[in-house]
Amino acid sequence: MSIVVVGSVAFDSLKTPFGAREKILGGAATHFSLSASYFTDVRVVAVVGEDFTQEEESVMTRRGVDTRGIQHAKGKTFFWKGEYGENVNEARTLDTQLNVFEKFDPQVPAEYKDSDYLFLANIDPALQVRVRDSMKRVKLVGGDTMNFWITSQRQNLNEMLKRVDILLINDGEAKMLADDSSLPRAANKVLEMGPKALVIKHGEYGATIFFRDGEFGGGHHPFRAPALPLDEVRDPTGAGDSFAGGFMGYIASQGEITRRVLKHAMFYGSVMGSFAVERFGTERMQSLTREAIDERFNAFRELTHLD
Amino acid sequence: MSIVVVGSVAFDSLKTPFGAREKILGGAATHFSLSASYFTDVRVVAVVGEDFTQEEESVMTRRGVDTRGIQHAKGKTFFWKGEYGENVNEARTLDTQLNVFEKFDPQVPAEYKDSDYLFLANIDPALQVRVRDSMKRVKLVGGDTMNFWITSQRQNLNEMLKRVDILLINDGEAKMLADDSSLPRAANKVLEMGPKALVIKHGEYGATIFFRDGEFGGGHHPFRAPALPLDEVRDPTGAGDSFAGGFMGYIASQGEITRRVLKHAMFYGSVMGSFAVERFGTERMQSLTREAIDERFNAFRELTHLD
């Protein structure tokens, strides 16, 4: 099964306690695509500028990612500059240049329209709504958002929430979206806004999936996946998108969407997130093997399972 | 098998978003004892003042807790007043009156000396060392500490760390003790200070046990227990001590200390911590059944296990 992802492709300049990199390949759709490519066929919808070369595109195509949906526009590619201090959970944005991303008008190529799965990475919710509505036959829609849209585009975001089956956000976003400081209460409020399931990512503490009662063949009981205790988080950029790639990619590879599949997808999401932060940018996501992924999956199982 | 706990018995005045209570029974040794009493025989060493009545003591004796080690001194019982805001993970101390606790000179009664298990709740590390050294035949020593001792009594604390087999602290304490902002790195540094295993409690995100390689019949791989996503945390006071009570109590009930036992103990610790916060003070810990405990144990299993 194939999955379409719509989102940003970007250049990132990063500084972490482990070093710095200038203008390396980044963006939510990039991290998602590379991660999901270890599980299923991936098709990207994005926009890049004239500074985006064949070299960058081949990072994706080498992993079998279909890049026909990447528009090449006049101008520069979306650029983000940030740094992380000792607390790697908090990024400090030093510069954001939207460039061609500012007028991004996502077009899903006709060749993509037979995809059963769709992931709406973190972009303007109005665009997320339009893309989702242009792909009527998809079986499952995953989506992401961020604080900026929660505060500035609430009405469009509400429309988006009615159109995603599974929303993936972090603790702070969930609490902000629900206006509730209790995570479980916030989760239930978000589920009332539309999604059938909600994945809340807790950074180094893992992630929890909450369900609307009766959806995906089960009750309302949540399920929690751990994160791997890692001595060195070299670069946290893209961890959440790599999580989403592993999560959605695994689901798309299974053909059925049961609780069992979703639980395993939570583990694969955590696995891919744990790999992503081991090196800068997309480095680790370029060089994985399915064997290494399944080995780490087993490590996650040992970390959490009693028997 | 029986376990001896040395620590505080106190009166607490509490305010949380769910209400307030004046001068209710509290203290680390109290919460620990009640929690552990569902698993094994518990013996308390503590000090109380003249305001501590038969009614309070019977809360413990009704649960079969041996209170012969509670000294009755002239003066008032240790008193703590605090409040919790919307973020229940942070207590704000409004008043602390050490009272008889200030000159606490713990004496382990002769009748307790055949105990195989010992828990050193959060008191002056010099006292912890002395109690531990007075019980040479114990098979396993668990211990707790806090920021205050880490900064003000480091030398005594270092001696204490050499004498505990399993240290149970929270994220902030581990990072402070190791002077390292990375939790896994901090864990490894703390293990080098003495303990064979280290339990780090993450509040609503659960807890992780880290091992020194080769101890308790296994490698260095950590194990993580979840916390239950609870809509309402009515009173977080004593959650950590209730965790410790479930953890140590379960170990003491098993007769052998294997990795398998320690993993289950992590779950029972989380289970008891989750009950503790459902009501004020020791209310919930007074009225549990082993059936309810095992039912919640199974809920924790479902929350984390793939199959």
- Return the amino acid letter for B243: F
Q: Could you give the CA distance from residue B260 to residue B7 in angstroms, rounded to a whole number?
A: 28
pLDDT of residue B58: 98
User: How large is the average pLDDT for residues A231-239?
Assistant: 91
Residue B302 is nearest to which of A210, A221, A302, comparing CB atoms?
A: A221
Please judge whether A224 and B303 are an interchain contact, meaning their C-beta atoms are less than 8 angstroms apart: yes
Separation in Å, CA of B297 to nearest CA in chain A: 11
- In this prediction, residue A90 has a pLDDT band, given cuts at 50, 70 and 90, of confident
**Between residues 227 and 246 of chain A, which touch chain B (CB distance below 8 Å)?**
229-233
Q: Which burial class, exposed, middle or buried, applies to A125 when counting CB atoms under 10 A from its CB (0-12, 13-18, 19+)?
A: buried
What's B197-253 look like in SS3? Answer: EEEEECHHHCEEEEECCCHHHCCCCCEEECCCCCCCCCCCCCHHHHHHHHHHHHHHH
Chain B CB within 8 Å of residue A84 CB? no
A–B: how many Cβ contacts below 8 A?
80
Q: Chain A: residue nearest B179 by CA?
A: A86
Low-confidence residues of chain B: pLDDT under 50: none
Closest to A238 (Cα-Cα) out of A279, A299, A197, A287 = A279
* Tens digits of residue pLDDT in A96-153: 999 999 999 999 999 999 999 999 999 999 999 999 999 989 999 999 999 999 999 9
Give the minimum alpha-carbon distance from B209 to chain A in angstroms, rounded to a whole number.
10
- How close is the nearest chain B Cα to the Cα of A79, in Å? 29
**B residues 94-113 near A, CB within 8 Å?**
none
ipTM, 2 dp: 0.91
Contact of B245 with B235, CB cutoff 8 Å: no
How high is the pLDDT of residue A59?
A: 98
**Which pLDDT value is given to residue A165?**
98
User: Does the structure show a pLDDT above 90 at A255?
Assistant: no
- For Cα atoms A278, A280, A283, give the angle at the middle one, nearest 5 degrees: 85
Closest chain A residue to the Cα of B259, Cα to Cα: A306
* Residue in chain A nearest B85 by alpha carbon: A181
Structure pTM? 0.94
Q: Which residue of A has its CA nearest to B201?
A: A205
Cβ contacts of A182 on chain B, cutoff 8 Å: 231-233
Residues from chain A that touch B270, judged by Cβ atoms under 8 A, are none
Residues of B in contact with A233 (CB under 8 A): 182
What's the pLDDT score for residue B86?
A: 76
Q: Which of B179, B181, B205 to mutate to test the interface with A (most CBs of A within 10 A)?
A: B205
Per-residue CA distances from B299 to A162, B267, B270 (Å): 30, 10, 11
Residues of A in Cβ contact (< 8 Å) with B192: none
Using the beta-carbon criterion (under 8 Å), do A229 and B221 form an inter-chain contact? Answer: no
pLDDT at position A85: 84
